[in-house]
Amino acid sequence: IASMKTAEEFSAEREKSHIVRAELDDVTRQLAESERALAAARAETGRALATAREEQSEVEEQMVAARDATVDSQAQLDALRGPAEAAQREAARLRDQVREMQETEQKKEDVMDALQRELREAKAGLEERHAEAAVTSGPL
C-alpha cells in the first residue's frame, strides 16, 4: 500500500506533466520561429552577397575599362610624340635657315652699301679729275 501512489500524488504528477508539456510546446514554437528567422536571415544574406558580387563585378569591369582607356590614351600620346618631336626639329631647322638667310641678306646689303660708296667715291674722283683736266687743258 505504501508503494502505491495516492490520488493526490498522481494528480500532482499529471499537473506537472501538463506544465512541462506546455513549456515544451512553447520552447518548440520558439525554436521553430528562430529557425524561420535564421532561414530568412540566411536568405537575406545570400541576396546581399549576390548583390555585392554583382556590384564588385561591375566595379572590376569599370576598372578594366578605365585601365584600357588609359593604355589607349598613352599609346595615342606615344604615337603623337614622334611626329611632334619631328615637327619641332623641322621648325628649329627652318628657324635656323631663316636666320641664315637673314644674315646672308644683311651681308649682301652691307656689300651693296660698300660698293655704292666706292662707286660714289670713284665717280667723285673722276669728276674731280675731269674738272682738273678741263682747267689745265683749257677750252678746246
- pLDDT surpasses 70 at 88: yes
Residue-level pLDDT at 4: 58
pLDDT digits (tens, 9 = 90+) for 9-58: 777 788 899 999 999 999 999 999 999 999 999 999 999 999 999 999 99
Predicted confidence (pLDDT) per residue in 90-108, tens digit: 999 999 999 999 999 999 9
What is the tens place of the pLDDT at every residue in 111-130?
A: 999 999 999 999 998 988 88
Query: What does 81-94 look like in DSSP terms, one character per residue?
Result: HHHHHHHHHHHHHH
Residues 76-81 have a mean pLDDT of 87
Residues constituting the chain: 140
Cell numbers at residue 127, please?
669728276
Residues 6+ positions from 5 with CB-CB distance below 8 Å = 13
Task: State residue 13's pLDDT score.
Answer: 82
C-alpha cell of 33?
520561429
Residue position matching grid coordinates 506544465: 19
Q: How far is CA 124 from CA 45, 117, 120, in A?
A: 114, 10, 6
The whole-number pLDDT of residue 140 equals: 53
Q: Report phi then psi at 13, rounded to 5.
A: -65, -40
Mean pLDDT of 53-78: 93
Average of per-residue pLDDT values in the chain: 89
**DSSP state for residue 4 in the 8-state scheme:** S
Report the distance separating Cα 140 and Cα 127, nearest Å.
18
* pLDDT higher than 50, residue 2: no
